[in-house]
Chains A and B, each alone.
Chain A
Amino acid sequence: MVKRPRDSGPQVFLAASSSGVFGKKVWSLAPQLQSYDDFPRMPCDVSLQPNQDPSSLSAAHTSRVVTSQSALSHAEYIREIFRFRGVFWVMAGRDVLVRYRYAIFGVAWAVLRPLCVLITFSAIFKGLVAREGPPGAYTSLVLCAAPLWIFFSATVQDSIGFVLRDAGLMNRAYFPRILLIFSGVSVGVVDFIISLGLVVLALYVSGVLYTPHVALLPLAVVWSVLLVGGCALWVSTLNTRYRDVSNVVPFGMHLLLVMSPVGYATSNLPAEYLRFLALNPLVGLLELFRYCLLGSPISGGASTVVIGVLITGVLVLTGYVLFRRMESWINDYA
C-alpha cells in the first residue's frame, strides 16, 4: 500500500479519485482506486450491495485525509459545499418546516410581521416625522423598509444559534459546517421574498409603485442576502467561542434600528449626519429599496450605495475567512 508522503503538509480534503478534480496534491492517491469495484467484497447481504446510484451525495469513490488544519483552497471549499448541497437542502427544508409547523398562522407570519412593523411605526412616528407630504406617503415609506428590516434583525438574532443548536448533528457526521449558516439564512430569505413580493403588490395596487426602477429590485435582494449572510457568519462563528456575543447582538439591533432609516426618511437628515450614517450598509440598502419601489432619490447619491456595497463586501469576505479559520475547532466548542 502506498502511503501519502508526510511532507505534503496538514490538510483535509475529499478527493474524487475518478476525476481528480482537486488538484495535484491529491492526484497521487488517485490511481490506487480506479473505481468502487476495486474494493474487495465478499458475498454479503443483498441490502448491502455497493451503492450504484450516480446521484449519491457523497460519491463512493473518495479518499479523505484529516489533519489538524483544513488545507482546502477556497475553490476546493466551494466545490465541497456544492458536493454537499443535498445536506443543505434537507437542513434548509427542516428549518422552514420547524419554524412554521407549530404556529397557528403558519407562513402567514411572513405577511403579518411587516404589518406589525408598519403599525408600530405608524403609531409612534407618523405624527412626529411625516406631518407634511401626501397622505399614505409615510405608510409606503415604512412598507418599503419593513421586509428588509425584519429579514435583517430576525436572521442576525437567530444566527446566535446557527452553529450551537446543531451540535448534535455536527457530532454525528462530517459536512462543511458553513452549511449550517447557509440553511439558517435561507429560512429568512424565504420570508423576505414572500413579504417583499406582497409589499410590491400592495404598492402596485395602491398606485404608488414607481415601475421604471422595479427591474433593479433583484440587485437589492442579492445585496440584502449578502449583508445578512455576512453578519450571520460573524455572529454565529464568534458566538460559538465567545458567548458574550449573544448579549451584544440584541443591544446592537436596538442601535441599528435607530441608526437606519426604517421609520424615517433620510431626506430629513443634515448632510453631515448622513455621511456618518452611510457607514451602516443598511442605510444605502434601504435607500436603494425606496429608489426601486417609490422612485425616491437616494440621499447622498451613488456614494451612499457604493460605501454600503463595499462595507457589505468586507463583511462577507472577513466573515468567510473567520469561519474558515474557526471551522477546524468549531466542533470542540459547540
Chain B
Amino acid sequence: MIAIEVSHVSKTFRLYKNTPSKVGSLQEHVLNALGFPPKALREATTPLFNALSDVSFEVRSGEKVALLGSNGAGKTTLLKVIAGITRPSAGQVMTRGRVVSVFGIGSGLHSMLTGRENISMYGALLGMSRAEIRRRFDDIVGFAGVEEFIDVPMKFYSSGMAARLAFSIASYVEADVLLLDEITAVGDADFQRRSYERIKEMVCGGRAVLLVTHHLHGIGELCDRAIVLEHGRIMNDGRADSVVDAYLARAARTA
C-alpha cells in the first residue's frame, strides 16, 4: 500500500533581485503593462529558484523515511507540498489517509487565546473532532507539562512552553501519513528526550512517516530508509544507516 506518491514534483520561485522594493506591487504591474521593462528583458533578468526539481519517490504505509540535507535543500518545501499547504509548480503528489504535518519552528498557536482554546483550535485544524479533542485533552496537557497555565493566554507562555504545547497537540492526532519537520529541536533537554520517545511511539504501526531532522545519530533507530536532498534534487535514497554514513562521509570531504 503506497501512502505517499511524489511524482516529478518541482517548485519554482521567482527571485526579484533587480527590484527588491517593488516585488509584486501594483507599480511593477502597471509598469510591466506599459511594457517597461520589455517582457523579454524582464524574463531574461528575473532569476528563478528551483526549491524542488523533478523529485519523485514513493513511501509505503508503515515505512519510516528520514529526509536529510543542508539548509535550503528543499526539505520543508517538500513536506509542505505533500501536506497540501503549498502547491507544486509541476508534478503531483498523492497521499492516502489523513495527513498530519508537524512543523517544529514557530508554534502556529494564537497568542490571545488560552492554552485550552488553542488545543481546540489547533486540534480541529489538524483534523481532530471535538470528541477526539475532549478525549485526548488531559494527555495533551500532561505531555506538554502546562497544567498550571492551561487557562492563561498564550502570550504569557515562554516560547519553549508554546512549542511544547504545539508539539503535544500534533502528536495526539491520529494520522496515516505523518510529516515531521525538525520537531526534536523544541523545548529543553528533558522535553527533547521525551519528545524523541513520543516520536518513537508515533512512528510505530502502519502509518507512513516522513521525518526531517539534523540529528543524524538517532535516525537508524527511528527510520528504516533515508533520502538525501541537495539543491532540490534527490541525491541518495536507500537504507537509513548506509545513506547516513555516505552523507556524513560526503559532509566530511567537503568540509
Contact = CB atoms under 8 A, between A and B. Distances in A.
Interface of A: 1, 3-4, 6, 10, 12, 32-33, 36, 38-45, 47-51, 53, 55-58, 60-69, 86-87, 89-91, 94, 97-98, 101-102, 168-175, 241-244, 328-329, 331-333
Contacts of B130: 55, 86
B82 A66 contact: yes
Interface in B93-150: 93-99, 101, 103, 106, 108, 110, 112-113, 117, 120-121, 124-132, 136, 139
Given A10-B92, A58-B98, A172-B125, 9 more contacts: A12-B84, A39-B176, A40-B206, A48-B202, A56-B127, A62-B98, A66-B94, A174-B83, A241-B24
Contacts of A87: 124-125
10 contacts: A42-B62, A45-B204, A55-B130, A56-B127, A57-B129, A60-B98, A62-B98, A87-B125, A94-B121, A332-B13
Given A39-B61, A172-B108, A90 B89 contact: no
Interface residues of B, number: 64
Nearest to A60: B98
B84 A55 contact: no
B84 A60 contact: no
Contact of B5 (A3, A69, A172): A3
Given A66-B81, A68-B87, A173-B101, A47 B139 contact: yes
Given A50-B174, A51-B174, A173 B125 contact: yes
Nearest to B62: A40
Nearest to A329: B87
B64 to A, nearest CB: 12
Contacts of B108: 168-169, 171-172
Given A38-B1, A40-B61, A243-B25, A174 B84 contact: yes
A55 B129 contact: yes
A90 B121 contact: yes
Nearest to B103: A172
A64 to B, nearest CB: 5
Contact of A39 (B89, B99, B206): B206
B204 A44 contact: yes
A7 to B, nearest CB: 12
B157 interface: no
Pairs of residues from A and B, 10 with the lowest C-beta to C-beta distance, nearest first = A44-B205, A174-B84, A41-B206, A58-B127, A67-B92, A244-B26, A56-B129, A172-B108, A90-B124, A51-B174
Nearest to A243: B25
A44 to B, nearest CB: 4
Nearest to B60: A1
B94 A4 contact: yes
B24 A172 contact: no
Given A3-B5, A51-B98, A173-B101, A45 B84 contact: no
Contacts of B201: 44-45, 47-48
B55 to A, nearest CB: 13
